[in-house]
Structure 1
């Protein structure tokens, strides 16, 4: 009788572990559904605000005739935006990786697009464009940054030996790009597409919230808010979640088939930074152009479209609205009041969400069963459109500060947890064995080795949380609380106060960019002292 080799035994053990992990995941989901069914049937949450899954499915069956046009409209905008956004992102990634100077010049635009709260620009797109265009643009913006970052990372991390082989056979820059770098970048690009797919769905729904069209899941959700029918709202929200989740799963399967791996669940919060220029004058010049380029593109786009000045505010027109007109003091007062309501909740929610994510990420190292139990929830929540989640939480928590805090924590927690856990899991086992050999316990090992080694990922998680926190607060204000920047944006849309719409949008972007740059500055200072590079 043949005996198994050590390699075969190891493979058998790994296969058994994978099967047990799948069983554990299925069991956890079944237990969650049973628990949810009991709570819903007994009406234990806000007197039926959380319906049982069976009741939600029954209502979806009754309303099924309503779903096809709404789902198709959302998919149409998300699909077109996905194709356009990713095509531009991959082209930009190739350009940035091939010519690093262009990456320095475009850094301001890239950071602005990453930090852009979609809810802030949705009304502008709706009043500036027509038909499906706002949905397509917002979906494309949601796809651009993650795919561009993944493309740059994949190309720059190409094995140098492969490049040398192409060069040895006479291959020049473009042949090296086609035959070596792009092939090497495929796994990274597919990782970006996995995250971009649900982002496109979210962008399309957000444009629908801003008033873009008669059909779409966002339109359906808004129209159903005042009817007091939790089962219908949950059905619409879960439908949006399923669409986003299937989009994520589709590209996960493609990645598994093409590359043999699908373990990446997130992407960097910033593209790899190009090498710093030695000349101080050149560095200042590049920084100035990078800062000015977003404003130049803003003005140029409005000039090309020929949108009336009353609707489309250029940077100069917005300055006049806020500082030179007789009503400027009133406008500034409204803006300041809204900022005073939005910023504290954003800061508190982000701090609590990041702290919770960090604590659970540490627990995932000490107790590996936690990561197996929470990772499916993290993936589903990462694909869940935030606009679908908010009305459901309104039914449970009401319209007070607790709703804003809950939403902000939830949207910042899961992506941050995934990123932090990924960083902690990549710490070298050999490095951990050193303090362990001197008798250090698990907590001491984390403090001495794991946490310092994963600092780049902790900062990456913080960068990732900044725009999501502001987005969560503004959506809650828009839909529920009647306060803050989100509510001011909604009111201004109703009053046709285009100057205030542009003001809120620009201020929201500037706040996100400012927070992002503060995190980057702290990260560079801390990591440079430790001789570490940022997570890419």
Structure 2
């Protein structure tokens, strides 16, 4: 209780210092000639615009909440099904990654043309939360203590009893960590739909209408309101996690973790499964297009995209534009992803070694995570310009925090008794981290890496779309202006395929490393 009070006072003091520095810098116009207005000006503008906000906030909140509820319900149900059936997880892996890797900026205008009302916003919000929560559920269920499972089975417990009493209970910390990340993602998905798909009300619509007015205080006000909504959603699940985790922490390391997949599967079965995994997303894509009844000019099937890129008269020009955009997007994506992961890993280690430092840093980190990209990017343009530094900054900011939350969760779940053993033999704190804590949290490190792959590409594309005028994001923007739906669908398909390939490379590396350590391997 005393430690919590100290944390609150430290956080309040740091927030006040940050606000005071911000006010001084803003009043003196030290950042890009006034691009960073002081908090006092932002508050005055918020008061002047107070009549505009209720309808915009209400529309965004409705889409975010509905998408959050629907997406997470599907995600947890799917995670349970995948944990019970590894074959089902392998079969749906392509669909799962595709759902997460779909660039919202590419499909928002398409959804707006093929759906009505709030459906496009709810859909993007649900897609934004599905993969994170589903992955957290699968990881939590698969990392359950096998000894407790054996005890329940020895007393005649059914598969459902094991799932309910052992696996799901042990997965609560992981699921809550996923929900913390998913909550701001729902807000981001709704605002992206508003920003890219039109509509009268919503913070994204309000932001879009304010971009060309040259009023930084209004842009910062909209961004801070969006950040407040996302931050409160994150804080709510963080508080819930803090209250529940006391009953779900392990006291010892599980020494009997199963080794994962079986080696008895014949080669032909593996080939069939691999083909089904690859083809199922394309079959679902084709079915959704046909069932939607959308005009063929707008909604493109896999066959239409193949014809556009390889068989049409303009195929050579389309390929050249796509390859040129890829050459600009991929290098900065890899650099940003690597930097974001390294930063997240360092913060996760420091959260164990130097908790006070992390407590002081967390308010800044939380703002970078909860402020939606479409609100953050125009503000960063005013400060950093439109060069590569902007893209790199955005990519790191959108990748490091989800990775940090996942890594910190894995490190926090390592029992204290396991860490005390090397210390009893005189090991230093770093030696204990290297020999016990880091190896025990490796599944979470790889899970964090899998999460960052699509997010890094999405961050780069949004920066290109809104600011830099380069790469895949800019190609999307140009294609929307030209009504070139073939290129829009081509960019979406290529970005998804790249994310799936990179994801699979991480899975292969994870399987090899964890198998050598005798830990559970992903299916």
Aligned to 2:271: 284
Aligned to 2:70: 84
Aligned to 2:8: 22
DSSP 3-state at the match of 2:34: coil
Aligned to 2:493: 506
CA deviations over 1:362-397 (Å, ceiling 9, x no partner): 444443321222234334433331221111101111
DSSP 3-state at the match of 1:47: coil
Matched, 1:464 2:451: yes
DSSP 3-state at the match of 2:51: helix
DSSP 3-state at the match of 1:65: coil
How far residue 248 of structure 1 moved from its aligned partner, in angstroms, is 2.2
CA distance in 2, matches of 1:189, 1:228: 42
CA distance in 1, matches of 2:171, 2:516: 31
Q: Show the 5 A alignment for 1:390-469.
A: 390-427=377-414, 441-443=428-430, 446-447=433-434, 449-469=436-456
Q: 1:60 aligns with which of 46, 64, 85?
A: 46
CA deviations over 1:79-133 (Å, ceiling 9, x no partner): 2222222222233233333444322321221122233333333233233323322
Q: Show the 5 A alignment for 1:298-317.
A: 298-317=285-304
Matched, 1:477 2:464: yes
Q: 1:112 aligns with which of 98, 110, 118?
A: 98
TM-score normalised to structure 2 length: 0.88
Root-mean-square deviation (CA, aligned residues, Å) is: 3.2
Q: 2:507 aligns with which of 520, 523, 532?
A: 520
How far residue 347 of structure 1 moved from its aligned partner, in angstroms, is 1.3
2:132, 2:451 within 8 Å by CA — same for their partners in 1? no
2:169, 2:248 within 8 Å by CA — same for their partners in 1? no
Aligned to 2:121: 135
Change (3 A) 1:458 1:175: closer
Q: 1:385 aligns with which of 348, 372, 375?
A: 372
Aligned to 1:9: none
Aligned to 2:210: 224
How far residue 175 of structure 1 moved from its aligned partner, in angstroms, is 7.0
Consecutive unaligned residues of structure 2, counting only runs of 5 or more, are 250-257
Aligned to 2:184: 198
Matched, 1:530 2:517: yes
How far residue 162 of structure 1 moved from its aligned partner, in angstroms, is 8.0
1:131, 1:212 within 8 Å by CA — same for their partners in 2? no
Aligned to 1:358: 345
> Which deviates further from its counterpart, 196-205 or 315-324?
196-205
How far residue 448 of structure 1 moved from its aligned partner, in angstroms, is 5.0
CA distance in 2, matches of 1:158, 1:447: 23
1:457, 1:535 within 8 Å by CA — same for their partners in 2? no
CA distance in 1, matches of 2:450, 2:157: 39
CA distance in 1, matches of 2:157, 2:448: 39
How far residue 223 of structure 1 moved from its aligned partner, in angstroms, is 1.4
1:253, 1:262 within 8 Å by CA — same for their partners in 2? no
How far residue 355 of structure 1 moved from its aligned partner, in angstroms, is 2.7
CA distance in 1, matches of 2:221, 2:129: 26
DSSP 3-state at the match of 1:210: helix
CA distance in 2, matches of 1:177, 1:434: 31
Aligned to 2:254: none
1:123, 1:501 within 8 Å by CA — same for their partners in 2? no
Change (3 A) 1:259 1:415: closer
> Which deviates further from its counterpart, 525-534 or 320-329?
525-534
1:49, 1:230 within 8 Å by CA — same for their partners in 2? yes
Aligned to 2:55: 69
Matched, 1:94 2:97: no
Change (3 A) 1:384 1:534: farther
How far residue 299 of structure 1 moved from its aligned partner, in angstroms, is 0.5
CA distance in 2, matches of 1:176, 1:365: 32
Matched, 1:122 2:122: no
1:100, 1:274 within 8 Å by CA — same for their partners in 2? no
CA distance in 2, matches of 1:514, 1:497: 26
1:375, 1:418 within 8 Å by CA — same for their partners in 2? no
How far residue 202 of structure 1 moved from its aligned partner, in angstroms, is 0.8
Alignment: residue pair count = 514
Aligned to 1:490: 477
DSSP 3-state at the match of 2:52: helix
How far residue 489 of structure 1 moved from its aligned partner, in angstroms, is 0.4
1:104, 1:274 within 8 Å by CA — same for their partners in 2? no
CA deviations over 1:487-526 (Å, ceiling 9, x no partner): 1101111110000000111111111222222222222223
TM-score normalised to structure 1 length: 0.86
2:91, 2:273 within 8 Å by CA — same for their partners in 1? yes
CA distance in 1, matches of 2:198, 2:428: 57
Change (3 A) 1:282 1:352: same
Aligned to 2:225: 239
Aligned to 1:266: none
2:479, 2:487 within 8 Å by CA — same for their partners in 1? yes
CA distance in 2, matches of 1:430, 1:241: 39
Aligned to 1:7: none
Consecutive unaligned residues of structure 1, counting only runs of 5 or more, are 1-14, 264-271
CA distance in 1, matches of 2:8, 2:520: 35
CA distance in 1, matches of 2:169, 2:418: 33
Q: Show the 5 A alignment for 1:132-281.
A: 132-155=118-141, 188-255=174-241, 275-276=261-262, 278-280=264-266, 281=268
2:64, 2:125 within 8 Å by CA — same for their partners in 1? yes
CA deviations over 1:42-78 (Å, ceiling 9, x no partner): 2111111111111111101101111112111212222
